[in-house]
Amino acid sequence: MSQDSAAEPPPVVAGETAGPSGPLAPFRTPGFGWLWLGVVMSSVGFWAQNVGAQWLFIDDPNAATIISLVQTAGTLPMVLFSLAAGVLSDAFDRRRLLIWVQLYFAVAATLLSVLTALGLVPPLLLLAFTFAIGVGLAMQVSTWQPMITELVPRSQIAAAIRLDMVSVNVSRAIGPAIAGAVIAIWGVAPVFAINAACTLFLIAALLRWRRPPQVAARVRERFLPALRTGGRYVRNEPVVRLILIRLAVFAAPATAMWALLPLIANRKLGLAADGYGLLFTALGVGAITAAFSMGRISRYVSAKLVLSITGVVYGIAFALTMVVPGLVPALPLLFVLGFGWTATAATLNAELQLYLPSWVRARAVAVYMMTFTAAQALASPIWGLIAQHVSLAAAVWSASGLVVVGGLIGFFWSFPESGHLDRRPLAYWPEARVLEEPEPDAGPVQVMVSYVVPAENVTDWLLAMEEMRRSRARSGATRWELYRVGERADTYVEIFTVGSWSEHLHQHEVRLTAEDQAIEERAFSYASRPNAALHLLPVIEPLTMARADERST
C-alpha cells in the first residue's frame, strides 16, 4: 500500500497507557477490582455447580463414563461457540453482553436446582443442562478476558491476566469446598441454587461500571465475515499458532487430572464429598500461589523455561497421586498440580494477549479457549474410558508420561516473548481516494500496488514480500498475488483481495499495527516508493443496470 503521507500518531485507547507495576497493581485501576470480585463470585457458583454435577452420579455403575462426559458437556460449548462469541464480543458492548450472560446463568441454574430437588434429573438431562451452562460460559470467557485489556494499562495486562487466574482458582478452591459441605448436609440440589445466587454480584458490578469509549471502525463488521477474518488471522500468524500448539500439547494429557480426580478421591484415597472438596482447595491454593508468584518468576525465567519445567513437574506430581496412601500426603501433590496448571495457562494466555492487536483480540482469545477446551473435551472421555476398561492407574500414568514428554520437548522448542511489542491500532495508510464511495457490502475489492525493484534487490525484496503476504492476510485479505510485468524488467505488481469495501476500510482504520508498518517499510527499502494504490471495484451493479436498460428498450 502506498505510504505517500506521514504516519499518523496512534490513537489513545483504553488499556494502552502506562501505569504502576506489581502483582496487585491492576486493583488500583478504577473498575477492575469490583469486576474481578464479581467474576470470582460468578466462578464460585460455576465450580460448585461442576462438583455437584460430577457428584450426582458418583455411585452409579457407569460413574467413570458419566463423570468424564460431564467434563466434556461443560467444555464442548467452548469448542463450538467460542469463536462466534468472540465475534459478538468484538462487535458489541461487552458490559451488556456480560449482564445478559449472568441472567442466563441464573435462570438455567435455578431450573436445574428445582428439577434436581424433585428427582427429575437423569444423566442425559444433567448433561444437557451442563452443556447449556457451558454455552453461557463460552460467551462469558470470550467477553471477559478481552475486556481485561480495556480495564488496565498495557504494562499491567500480564498482572491482570494472572489475577484473572487467581479469580478462577480462588473460586475453584472455594466453590468445591462449599459444594462438598453442602452436599454432605443437604444434597446436590442446593449447590445448583448457589450457582444461581452467585451471579448477582457480577450483575451489580457491571451495572455500576461504565465501559469507556473505544476506537472503532466507521462500519461495524458483519457476523460471518468477522468470523472468517478471525480464523484467517490465526491461520496466518505463526506466533499465535505456536502458542495454540503448545497449549494443546499440555492440555490434552494434563486434563486427565480434572477428569479422573473424583475417581482418585473416591476409589484410590477413599474420600467422601468433603475430602474431595479439600483436594480442590489444595489445587486452588497452588493455583493462587502460581498466579501471585509468576510475575516475579517471569523476570528471571523465560516463558519457554516456565512452560517446560512446569510440564515436567506437573506430570511427576500427577503420577504420584496413585502412590500416596491418603488425603494428607495427597494435598501437597494437588498443590503442585494447581500451581503447574495455572503457571502454564497464565503464561500462554498472557503471551497471547500481549501479542494480539485489539481489533481481533476477542476472536483470537476465543480460538485459544476453543483449543484449550477442545483438548479437554476430546481427551477427557478417552481418559475416562481407559480408567473404566483398563484401570485408573493406567489412565493416570499414561497421561502423566505424556505431560512429562511434552515438557521435555519444550526445552528444545523455540517460544516467542511478546511483552515488548506495540499492538495498538496504527492508521498509517492514507485515505482511499476513489471517485465514488462504494456501498459497504460491495465486493470483492482488489487493491493493486506496483513496485520498481532493481535487479540486485529482487531476492531480498521477494523475501520481504513473503512477510507482506502474511501481513495482508492477517488484516483481512482473502487472496494475495504477486506478478512480474512482462513488458518491463524491473516492475512488479502486488494484488490482494478483500471481501468487501467495508473490510478494506477496517484495514485502513483499525487493523494495522506498527509491526505491519515495519514489514511494509522493509519491502519498500528494496524498491522505489510505490505509486498510490489502485482500488479495483466490482462492476456487477452497473452491468445489471445496463442490462435492465437494454431489456426496457
Q: pLDDT tens digit string along 372-397? A: 878 887 888 899 889 888 989 999 99
What separation in angstroms does the CA of 399 have from each of 311, 378, 403, 406? 12, 14, 6, 11
Quick: pLDDT tens for 159-204.
788 788 777 767 776 887 788 888 888 888 888 898 889 888 888 8
**Which of the residue ranges 6-10, 89-93, 235-239, 334-338 would you say has the lowest mean pLDDT?**
6-10
In degrees rounded to 5, what are phi and psi of residue 481?
Answer: -140, 150
- Whole-angstrom distance, CA of residue 258 vs CA of residue 381: 11
The residues, any chain, with a CB within 8 Å of residue 169's CB and separated by 6 or more, are: 283, 284, 286, 287, 288, 291, 338, 342
* 30 has pLDDT over 80: no
Mean pLDDT value of segment 237-244: 88
Quick: pLDDT tens for 484-518.
999 888 899 999 999 888 888 888 888 888 888 88
| Residues 86, 362 contacting (CB under 8 angstroms) | yes
Q: Coil, helix or strand for 486?
A: coil
For the 445-552 domain, the top CATH level (class) is alpha beta
* 421 has pLDDT over 70: no
> What integer pLDDT is reported at residue 1 of this predicted model?
54
Cis peptide before 444 (omega within 30 of 0): yes
Quick: pLDDT tens for 129-162.
889 888 888 888 888 878 887 788 777 777 788 7
Indicate the pLDDT class of residue 16, thresholds 50, 70 and 90.
Answer: very low
pTM of the complete model? 0.70
Mean pLDDT value of segment 31-38: 86
**Greatest mean pLDDT range, 98-102, 168-172, 278-282, 431-435:** 98-102
User: What integer best gives the mean pLDDT of the chain?
Assistant: 82
For 297, counting Cβ atoms within 10 Å of its Cβ (0-12 exposed, 13-18 middle, 19+ buried), the class is: middle
- CATH of region 29-210+223-410, choose from 1.10.3720.10, 1.20.1250.20, 3.90.870.30, 3.40.190.150: 1.20.1250.20
Residue intervals in the chain for CATH 1.20.1250.20 = 29-210+223-410
Indicate the pLDDT class of residue 118, thresholds 50, 70 and 90.
Answer: confident
5 against 133, higher pLDDT: 133
* 14 has pLDDT over 70: no
- Whole-angstrom distance, CA of residue 335 vs CA of residue 319: 14
> What integer pLDDT is reported at residue 247 of this predicted model?
92
Residue intervals in the chain for CATH 3.30.70.100 = 445-552
- Whole-angstrom distance, CA of residue 448 vs CA of residue 191: 61
